């Protein structure tokens, strides 16, 4: 398990001229998230909510090859009980909920891989800008054989529609930047990754100059329009997947760099 202190190095946070910048800083691991990193992201959202001088927040990944490639798979080695599975998805829901409801406009500046939990983080942001090399996906049917929480299904269905979400998960393919723009997964594509942060900062300054309460009201109104999911809804689906032999097989295959043999058990 990653030490919480390490998360301060794995997620860089700075504020300049009213713009907060969050950088996922594990390029050697394609910025895959440890559990401590998820907690640090939630802490940052709380800090931004309290600091009234902050007017916008940009989230990005270090290295240019990944925004975030989901959760670090090694974190799942200790999963033994139903409580482990439910606790993990509950943690993700809590952290992503904190990001989604953050007081200020949030902008995901995405280069390279944006997959799994990384796609979940980007999906919680208010605006998404992609570099030309960005690729998006939820390849869980090909990799681990796990599932999303009900909140994440709802969030992605709201973003791109149920039909496209099914196609994304069923095929486990990665969506290139032009298609992501066409289906509304991102708002804008900046072809050259070297120009991505310049454009993200420019957009952040634009929204930061606008009436904060108007933007907050818009964020909250649209969040309230989504169906409210009762607590515990979908726990049976989480347990079906995370407690399965297939999940164990998927995790072992991933860590040992081989193709999984899923049996539906």
Mean of all residue pLDDT scores within the chain: 94
* Extended strands (E) in 96-199: 106-110, 113-115, 127-131, 135-137, 175-176, 188-190
Model confidence at 2, pLDDT cuts 50, 70, 90, reads very low
Question: Is the sign of the CA dihedral 164, 165, 170, 171 positive or negative?
Answer: positive
What are the pLDDT digits (tens) for 176-219?
A: 999 999 999 999 999 999 999 999 999 999 999 999 999 999 99
Per-residue pLDDT, 263:
96
What are the pLDDT digits (tens) for 26-50?
A: 999 999 999 999 999 999 999 999 9
């Amino acid at each position: 398990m990653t030490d919480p202190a390490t998360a301060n190095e794995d997620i860089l946070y700075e504020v300049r001229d009213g713009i907060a910048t969050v950088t996922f800083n594990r390029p050697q691991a394609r910025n895959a998230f440890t559990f401590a990193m998820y907690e640090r992201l939630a802490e940052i959202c709380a800090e931004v909510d309290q600091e009234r001088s902050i007017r916008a927040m940009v989230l990005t990944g270090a290295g240019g090859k990944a925004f975030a490639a989901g959760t670090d798979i090694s974190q799942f080695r200790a999963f033994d009980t139903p409580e482990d599975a439910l606790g993990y998805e509950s943690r993700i829901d809590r952290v992503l909920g904190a990001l989604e409801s953050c007081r200020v406009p949030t902008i995901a500046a995405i280069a390279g891989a944006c997959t799994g939990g990384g796609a979940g983080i980007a999906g919680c942001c208010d605006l998404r800008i992609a570099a030309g090399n960005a690729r998006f996906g939820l390849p869980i049917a090909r990799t681990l054989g796990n599932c999303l929480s009900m909140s994440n299904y709802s969030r992605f269905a709201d973003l791109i529609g149920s039909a496209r979400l099914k196609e994304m998960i069923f095929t486990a393919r990665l969506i290139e930047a032009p298609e992501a723009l066409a289906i509304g997964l991102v708002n804008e594509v900046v072809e050259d990754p070297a120009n991505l942060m310049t454009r993200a900062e420019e957009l952040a300054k634009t929204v930061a100059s606008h009436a904060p309460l108007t933007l907050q009201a818009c964020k909250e109104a649209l969040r309230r329009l989504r169906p409210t999911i009762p607590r515990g809804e979908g726990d049976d689906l989480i347990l079906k997947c995370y407690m399965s032999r297939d999940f164990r097989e998927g995790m072992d295959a991933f860590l040992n760099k081989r193709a999984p043999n899923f049996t539906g058990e």
